[in-house]
Amino acid sequence: MMFHPTKHPTSSPKARTTLNAQALACRRGQRFLFAGLDFSLEHGRILILRGPNGSGKTSLLRLLAGLSRPEAGQLFWCGMAVPPSGAGLSEQVHYVGHSSGMKAAFSVTDNLRFWARYLGGAEDRLEASLEALDLEALAHLPVGALSAGQQRRVSLARLLVAPRPLWLLDEPTVALDSDNQHRLTGLIQTHVQNGGMAVIATHTPLGVDGANLDLRDFQPEAQHMAHDPLLAFED
């Protein structure tokens, strides 16, 4: 795939941007979700995370976002080892997870303006972000007054307020109608066509080309399960 570093305002990846995982392991509570997980992702590529509920897709995305630490193994960003804190990688990442990350009482515009500032983006991207997710007519409304699919679109608009090369998307189609699923597909395709990368957990087809990583292939065979799930809970 061609690399166009300056063509699109949503991405400003470095040439030869790469993300590699070597022998990653993740433990939640007393249970190893996966171990020995390797993958390699280059600019312009998509990695699609597969696996049943509870197999560790969200846990892997949180680990890549620097929100939790691996139990073992090593991440490399552009060939540089990422420390357990995630420093050096977490600043390159947009993470859109299950929660919207928005303040319910604030308007769509105010929420996105906050994220633009927080993520080091420019406010002049706001209009384009609203337009890309068909949010202009909702921009003045408090996020808490929006439907689930509309709130999801606000979360996705965050991807566009600041350019970051690696998009981590957790079930991004949830609550989206078919028009907006197509809109999302277009955004992802544009991002990678211009040199971005994406790791996407999904149970449904996204209409994008990507390599598949099935978490079931990395489950340790013998599990020491906690008898009481509450005892295993971690913040």
Ligand X SMILES: Nc1ncnc2c1ncn2[C@@H]1O[C@H](COP(=O)(O)OP(=O)(O)OP(=O)(O)O)[C@@H](O)[C@H]1O
Residues that bind ligand X (CB under 6 A): 28-29, 33, 51, 53-59, 201, 232-234
Residue closer to ligand X (CB basis): 5 or 29: 29
User: How far is CA 96 from its chain centroid?
Assistant: 5
Shortest Å distance, C-beta 216 to ligand X: 10
Closest among 222, 229, 203 to 214, alpha carbons compared: 203
Closest among 112, 122, 92 to 199, alpha carbons compared: 92
Shortest Å distance, C-beta 201 to ligand X: 6
Shortest Å distance, C-beta 195 to ligand X: 27
Note the residue count of the chain: 235
* Residue whose structure tokens are 């995370």: 49
Residue closer to ligand X (CB basis): 53 or 178: 53
Residue closer to ligand X (CB basis): 27 or 191: 27
Shortest Å distance, C-beta 212 to ligand X: 14
Residue closer to ligand X (CB basis): 71 or 110: 71
Phi-psi region of 145 (alpha: psi -120 to 50; beta: other; left: phi over 0): alpha
